[in-house]
């Protein structure tokens, strides 16, 4: 399914007063439920939360378990208010890999019809999934 229109609306909920870079994410679970997230920035910078992890944390709060994550959809808009194709940052890739048991698709939108699709294993090869702990 294409989530561009919902992501575009969701971008306006992003709280990014310092970077001006808005990110919206919609994640889909194996049971069909979907959850939204936006980036929320902090004046202290490091407490900033990414859109993808906010969506995942909401899903977990609502009962999602490890392995339930099936799809991650992402749209971003820069400070000049142009839509830009953005890929998940390193910490988001780590959390996506763990929550999907390294088996999810990531959709990065540039527009409604330009969508790059990757597996998490492509974006985070040789991931650390915790089995070694």
**Which spans of this chain sit near ligand THU (rule: CB under 6 A)?**
16, 19, 21, 23, 39, 41, 48, 50-52, 88-89, 92
Tokens 């959809």: give the residue.
73
| Residue 19 token pair | 């970077």
Among candidates 94, 20, 108, 21, which has minimal Cα distance to 56? Answer: 94
**Is the Cβ of residue 63 or residue 117 nearer to ligand THU in the bound state?**
117
Q: Which is nearer to ligand THU, 42 or 63 (CB)?
A: 42
Catalytic residue among 52, 82, 112, 114: 52
- As measured in angstroms, the least distance from the Cβ of 28 to ligand THU is 17
From the CB of 64, what's the least distance to ligand THU, in Å? 19
18 vs 98: CA distance, rounded Å: 29
Residues 64/104, Cβ–Cβ less than 8 Å: no
Residue 132: CB minimum distance to ligand THU, A: 25
């Amino acid at each position: 399914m294409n989530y561009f229109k919902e992501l575009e609306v969701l971008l306006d909920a992003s709280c990014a007063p310092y970077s001006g870079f808005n990110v919206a994410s919609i994640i889909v679970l194996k049971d069909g439920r979907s959850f939204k997230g936006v980036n929320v920035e902090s004046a202290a910078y490091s407490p900033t939360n990414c859109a993808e992890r906010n969506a995942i944390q909401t899903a977990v709060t609502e009962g999602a378990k490890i392995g339930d994550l099936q799809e991650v959809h992402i749209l971003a808009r820069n400070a000049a208010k142009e839509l830009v194709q953005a890929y998940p940052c390193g910490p988001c890739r780590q959390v996506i890999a763990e929550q999907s048991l390294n088996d999810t698709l990531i959709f990065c939108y540039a527009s409604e019809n330009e969508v790059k699709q990757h597996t998490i294993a492509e974006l985070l090869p040789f991931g650390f999934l915790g089995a070694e702990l």
